[in-house]
Amino acid sequence: MTEKVSQEPISDSDVSSSELDGVIHANKNLYDKLNQLPEIESLQDVIEEDDNQKDEKQKSQFIEKFLSQVSEFYSNNELVRYAFWALLLILISTSALTIIEYDMFKDSVIEDADGTFLFGGDEANWFDTFFHTFWWSIVTFTTVGYGDVSPITHIGKLLTIIIMLLNFGIVTLLGGAVASVLVAQRLKGDDTLDESKFKGHLVIAGWNTFVPSILKLIDANKEKVFMPNISSFKACPEIDSILVKSSDGIRIVSATAPPSKEILSDSGYTQSSGKINLNRTSVSIDPVAEWKQMYSEAWRLQRDYFWVKNMSGINWKKIHDRYYKLIDRISSRSEFSDLVWEMQGELGTSHCYEFGGDYKPKRNYNIGLLGADIEYDSKIKAYKITHLVKGDVWSGHMTSPLFRPGLNIKQGMYIKSISGNRLNKSSSPNIHLVNKVNKDIELTILDENGKNKRDITIKTIPTENELRYRDWVEKNRAYVHRKTKNKVGYVHIPDMSPWGYSEFHRYWLSEIQYDSLIIDVRFNGGGHVSQLILEKLARKRLGYDITRWMGTESYPSDSIAGPTLAITNEYAGSDGDIFSHSFKMMNIGKLIGKRTWGGVIGIWPRNLLVDGTITTQPEFSFWFKDVGWNVENYGTDVNIEVEITPEDYAKGVDTQLDRGIKEILLDLKKDPIVQPKFDKKPNLSK
């Protein structure tokens, strides 16, 4: 009986590895003979080839995976991309320079006496190796260049220009990329919002009821104007609305969509317009209680901001109690201001002010002005125009309305009537100009001989201050030029603010053409630019810059050739004090006039009381090397004191300016200014 052999395949789990090794060892000879058969050898070759293919495939997959990762890293990392292209350009430029600078001269290599090889004739070419050129390219890319070495050939120089131009963009991009990476990492590290780039995602915004309304306004491709001409706003998420303040008033609008043109054009106080009528609101105020709070706050502001903590040794709490008990006895807002002034005055320093506040409105009877001085003439029975205030006629507003083109008004003519009202000696013409500011009025004008009556129309002006200031400065300037025979210039500085700084330069740039200069700081209102002006006045002319086509310029530029002198008076204060004292300390010139105001503790007004009152706290105290703190409450003494008496003022005599002219002419006489001839120019032919 024959035994049946099972045809079922033997799985790996049926025979263990130890059992298989035992079978092979027991039948070793048989297996050796089998392995020598040609079929077995062919099978082994097939197996080896298959293994080799698997190895190659694994290597190929590894390389593809590696290249894919590199490509992804390159695509997602801007810094790497910029660095790669920068390195590539450096290598290209290095190779090109090496070839151009070295290979083009390799046939003209010569040997110097000391054995040094020179390229390109007698000039040594430094770009003889790739390493040298690579170093030079790196330095040129990252800085301003390696100045000791430069290409010799024209092509090399052109290539260098391209390299330098590329440097601007690439180095900037590298720096920007590094900054972007650091900022992004910082944002993530701080666990705050970071930029996200994605598509097809949902944004869930439900952290409060207001956000969904805002999200409705978001347009990824276009900015939208919610509402124009807004000065401020406040979100009201509880009612899905925004409270908006503009020149049109205050209104509340829906946050779900921009308000329509119909809503914005509705000026009524309705629910649809959203406008809020504040006139309907009223507040009950106890004046005495409010004054007590304001008084204590003004006192605290001084305590907290005064320039020295110990309040200059004053018992400040005692001062508070001394005046506080008087508040119940005052009966008006102006009396409260007086009380605050008295309290702050106990500090004994300058710049301790109180102004503004909730005063009852009062009617102002403003007078429209003509920009002219007039005097009644009994013979003609009209007012004669004795002086027209010129101002700046080119400005259009800083001049007398009588200078308007086409009017042909001259000094010496007469004004017979204003708006049909005939003028007389017993009443002022201003009676007919009350409440006529910036309004058209009709004037009846007579010629210089009192004849040829005609009517003109002009628009009055609210103030003549700027006009008369300009006339005063121009009169002084012309007077100085005339009295010194155009040897001395004149500059007035009205204050040390931006206006004073601009006025200084308006005249400074034209007056420095004269040999000497008078600086007038009388009536200077102070400010903060004195040191900028002193820097220019301290310049001493050392030489000249001579050109063939562009003239001659002094060195330092805008410097004065001869002596300088300053005029000051008791109305020059704050930074006017500081300027006057520093002018003396710097020995720029003589100081003439009167001792200055004496207030050099500066202020920074920024804290308002409840009714809008502003109080100032002296915070910035000045100390000088020569007198210490003693300019405060005293001022600075002048070198030559000159008084203007009431009689002098009435006659129009400026004794201070006259003395300044006298002193500066004496200085010029002692040390005259000789304009150089600029002859004996260099002659290189000798």
- Residue 68 pLDDT grade (very low, low, confident, very high; cuts 50, 70, 90): confident
Whether residues 445 and 494 share a domain: the answer is no
pLDDT tier, 372 (very low <50, low <70, confident <90, very high otherwise): very high
pLDDT of 42: 57
d(CA 343, CA 318): 11
> How many percent of the chain have pLDDT more than 70?
74
Range of the domain at 546: 484-600+635-670
pLDDT at 58: 76
d(CA 686, CA 682): 10
If pLDDT is split at 50, 70 and 90, which confidence band does 112 have? very low
Kindly state whether residue 331 falls inside one of the protein's structural domains: yes
Question: CB–CB of 328/289 below 8 Å?
Answer: no
Predicted confidence band of residue 324 (pLDDT cuts 50, 70, 90): very high
- In the predicted model, what is the mean pLDDT of the chain? 82
Given the DSSP bridges, would you call strands 564-568 and 589-593 parallel, antiparallel or unpaired?
parallel
Residue 628 lies in a domain: no
Residue 376 domain-assigned?
yes
CATH code for position 313: 3.30.750.44
456 within a domain of the structure (yes/no): yes
On the question of pLDDT at 114 being above 60, the answer is no
HSE-up of residue 108 (Cα within 13 Å, Cβ side): 12
The more confident residue out of 61 and 413 is: 413
Domain boundary, last residue among 166, 186, 206: 186
Better-predicted residue by pLDDT, 247 or 626: 626
Query: pLDDT tens, 466-522?
Result: 999 999 999 999 999 999 999 999 999 999 999 999 999 999 999 999 999 999 999
Lowest mean pLDDT among 10-14, 320-324, 343-347, 537-541: 10-14
Are 504 and 584 contained in the same domain? Answer: yes
Lowest mean pLDDT among 164-173, 195-204, 247-256, 401-410: 195-204
Q: What is the pLDDT of residue 56?
A: 76
Tokens of 134: 């690579």
- pLDDT value, residue 7: 43
d(CA 541, CA 264): 64
* CA–CA distance, 350 with 550 (Å, rounded to integer): 50
Angle at 360 between CA 357 and CA 365, to 5 degrees: 110
Q: What distance in Å separates the CA atoms of residue 255 and residue 510, rounded to the nearest whole number?
A: 59
Residue 468 lies inside a defined structural domain of this protein? no
In this structure, the answer to whether residues 121 and 168 fall within a common structural domain is: yes
Q: What is the pLDDT of residue 521?
A: 97
Strands (E), 296-452: 354-355, 372-377, 382-388, 414-418, 421-422, 440-446
330 — pLDDT class (breaks 50, 70, 90): very high
Q: 348 and 291, same structural domain?
A: yes
Q: What angle do CA 667, 672, 676 make, to 5 degrees?
A: 150
Residue 395: CATH number of its domain: 2.30.42.10
Asked whether residue 18 is domain-assigned, the answer is no
Mean pLDDT across the stretch 101-109? 54
559 and 423 within one domain: no
Q: How many residues in the chain? A: 686
59 vs 638: CA distance, rounded Å: 96
Residue-level pLDDT at 88: 75
Helix (H) or strand (E) holding 564: strand 564-568
Residues 6 or more apart from 76 whose CB is under 8 A from it? none
pLDDT confidence tier of residue 273, bands split at 50, 70 and 90: confident
Q: Does 605 score more than 50 pLDDT?
A: yes
pTM of the complete model beyond 0.85: no
Together in a domain, 536 and 588: yes
Exposure of 349 by Cβ count < 10 A (0-12 exposed, 13-18 middle, 19+ buried)?
A: buried
Lowest mean pLDDT among 92-101, 337-346, 472-481: 92-101
Q: From start to end of 153-265, where are the E strands?
A: 230-236, 241-246, 249-254
CB burial readout 108-136, b (16+ within 10 A) else e: eeeeeeeeeeebbeeeebbbbeeebbbeb
| CA 123 from centre of chain | 52
Both 413 and 452 in a single domain? yes
pLDDT > 90 in the chain, percent: 51
Report the SS3 class of residue 490: strand
Average pLDDT over residues 73-82: 69
What's residue 6's pLDDT?
Answer: 41
Whether 24 maps to a domain, the answer reads no
- Per-residue pLDDT, averaged over 380-393, amounts to 92
Residue 31's pLDDT is 57
Say if residue 190's pLDDT is above 70.
no
- Last residue in a domain, options 355, 381, 408: 355
In angstroms, the CA 567 to CA 524 distance is: 11
Q: Are residues 269 and 291 in the same domain?
A: no
| Number of compact structural domains in the chain | 5
- Going by pLDDT thresholds of 50, 70 and 90, the confidence category of residue 206 is low
Q: Looking at the predicted structure, is the pLDDT value of residue 269 above 50?
A: yes
- What's the pLDDT score for residue 95? 75
Residue 122: pLDDT above 90?
no
Q: What is the mean pLDDT of residues 217-239?
A: 74
Same domain, 507 and 640: yes
Catalytic residue list: 351, 574, 632
Category of 617 on φ-ψ map: left (φ > 0), alpha (ψ -120 to 50) or beta: beta
Mean pLDDT of 533-551: 92
Where would I find the H helices in 512-608? 530-537, 575-585
What confidence category does residue 220 fall into, taking pLDDT thresholds of 50, 70 and 90?
very low
**267 within domain boundaries:** yes
**Do 567 and 650 have their domain in common?**
yes
What is the per-residue pLDDT for 157? 72
pLDDT digits (tens, 9 = 90+) for 624-682: 999 999 999 999 999 999 999 999 999 999 999 999 999 999 999 999 988 888 888 88
> Are 536 and 592 contained in the same domain?
yes
pLDDT tens digits for range 344-364: 999 999 999 999 999 888 888
Does position 111 have pLDDT exceeding 50, yes or no?
no
pLDDT band at residue 2 using 50, 70 and 90 as cut-offs = very low
pLDDT reading at 409 higher than 70: yes
Confidence check: pLDDT of 3 > 70: no
Q: What is the pLDDT of residue 78?
A: 64
pLDDT band at 59 (very low <50, low <70, confident <90, very high): confident
- The verdict on 97 and 243 lying in the same domain is no
CATH number at 525 reads 3.90.226.10
